[in-house]
Amino acid sequence: MQVPLAKRLHQVLLEPLDGWLLALLTAVFVISMIALFSASNQSWAKIDNKLVYTAMGLVVMWGLARLSPQTVMHLAVPLYSIGVLMLIGVEFAGITVNGSTRWLNLGVVRIQPSEIMKTALPMMVAWYFQKYEATLNWRHYVVAAVMIIIPGALVLKQPDLGTAILIMGAGFFALFFAGLSWKVIIGGIVSLLASLPVVWNMMHDYQRKRVLTLIDPMEDPLGAGYHIIQSMIAIGSGGVWGKGWLAGSQTHLDYIPERTTDFIFAVYSEEFGLAGNLLLLALYLAIITRCMLITARAPTLYGRLLAGSITLSFFVYVFVNMGMVAGILPVVGVPLPFMSYGGTATVSLAVGLGMLMGIGKLQRTS
């Protein structure tokens, strides 16, 4: 019996994707386009670019969702190895922009290897634990920790503290879902707190200034504290219902810096107020909840570790961005998922969610 065309199209185009996640991400995308149009001073060029990169992300997400987790798992070792080699290459032949050496020129394209590691590292840790699932012991956790530290240290040296935190956080989340002991976690936190004086001395001047600015942004209101002060003013002036779309004074008088990228949440808050913020937070919470359900139901250790790492990394993106814009965290240059303007971040997030949807598809078909 011949399958109807509509059903075949559904099977090919939509069946690999998680319907709930796709609907929630679409809602965030619509909000992002509304906010970006205002933040960019009604620039259709930026709208067109975001549409292109979002379409690319959707294609990547769809392609990865069609692949089985076992197929993706085989890419972990080569992808991690290539990522580390490229990070080493940045040390010797990297391109320096604004004092940071983060890019590698491959001739036809300029690439930021740290973006690769955001996905490659949790894949590698998940693959490693899946391989030794039957004989796991403390030595395997030590090896996995070394896997995390190597790319993290290379990214820190660029220097890129924000990305290093995201990369090592993604690896740690995989360790956490693998059953890392709470005693070890608490011990690590205590050790980290004890080492803060050493970490402080190792930090670059601009990184120390960001921390001091967080404590008292008014110490340098026209310099290091400018970003935080202006974003806090924008958020506060939005009130409960906001000033209205295209009516944000902080936005359109050019007080908010980087308002289309890292600080787009300040633009959105000013124009849509607390009510708009609660809607956006509800959407992000629903996305994270759906991802956690997929994680909990993952049929394999690899799927559980990778899905859990992707989910908590997504949460960290949201928490850190909103936290720095609201003035409760230092400014570290972390975009707001699917809201901030930027092609690399959009595609990178789509890669992770595509793999997570592939894990969810395995649940539905098993």
**Three-state SS at 111:** strand
Lowest mean pLDDT among 85-89, 99-103, 249-253, 285-289: 99-103
**Three-state SS at 13:** helix
Mean pLDDT of all residues in 139-149: 91
* pLDDT for residue 5: 52
User: Is residue 328's pLDDT more than 90?
Assistant: no
Identify the residue whose tokens are 């120390």: 208
Identify the residue whose tokens are 């030794």: 132
* pLDDT for residue 135: 83
Of residues 1 and 37, which shows the higher confidence score?
37
Q: Can the peptide bond before residue 159 be classed as cis, meaning omega within 30 degrees of 0?
A: yes
Nearest residue to 230 (alpha-carbon basis) of 265, 266, 276: 266
* pLDDT for residue 101: 74
* pLDDT for residue 252: 82
Angle, vertex CA 351, rays to CA 145 and CA 11, nearest 5: 135
User: Is residue 77's pLDDT more than 70?
Assistant: yes
* pLDDT for residue 111: 79
* pLDDT for residue 188: 80
pTM given for the model:
0.88
Rg of the Cα atoms in the chain: 21
* pLDDT for residue 324: 87
* pLDDT for residue 270: 93
Percentage of the chain beyond pLDDT 70 is 89
- Annotate 321-333 with b (16+ C-beta within 10 A) or e (fewer): bbbbbbbebbbbe
* pLDDT for residue 191: 82
User: Is residue 63's pLDDT more than 60?
Assistant: yes
Of residues 262 and 107, which shows the higher confidence score?
262
* pLDDT for residue 98: 64
* pLDDT for residue 363: 61
Report the alpha-carbon distance of residue 89 to residue 104 in Å, rounded.
7
Q: Where are the beta strands (DSSP E) in the chain?
A: 94-97, 100-105, 110-111
Mean pLDDT of all residues in 130-152: 89
The confidence band for 248, taking pLDDT boundaries of 50, 70 and 90, is confident
User: Is residue 26's pLDDT more than 90?
Assistant: yes
- Give the mean pLDDT of the chain: 85
pLDDT tens readout for residues 147-180: 999 999 888 888 777 788 889 999 999 998 888 8
User: Is residue 207's pLDDT more than 80?
Assistant: no
Of residues 331 and 284, which shows the higher confidence score?
284
User: Is residue 9's pLDDT more than 70?
Assistant: no
* pLDDT for residue 234: 87
Ramachandran angles phi, psi of 43, nearest 5°: -85, 110
Nearest residue to 209 (alpha-carbon basis) of 223, 193, 194: 223
Crossing angle (nearest 10°) for helices 161-177 and 301-326: 140
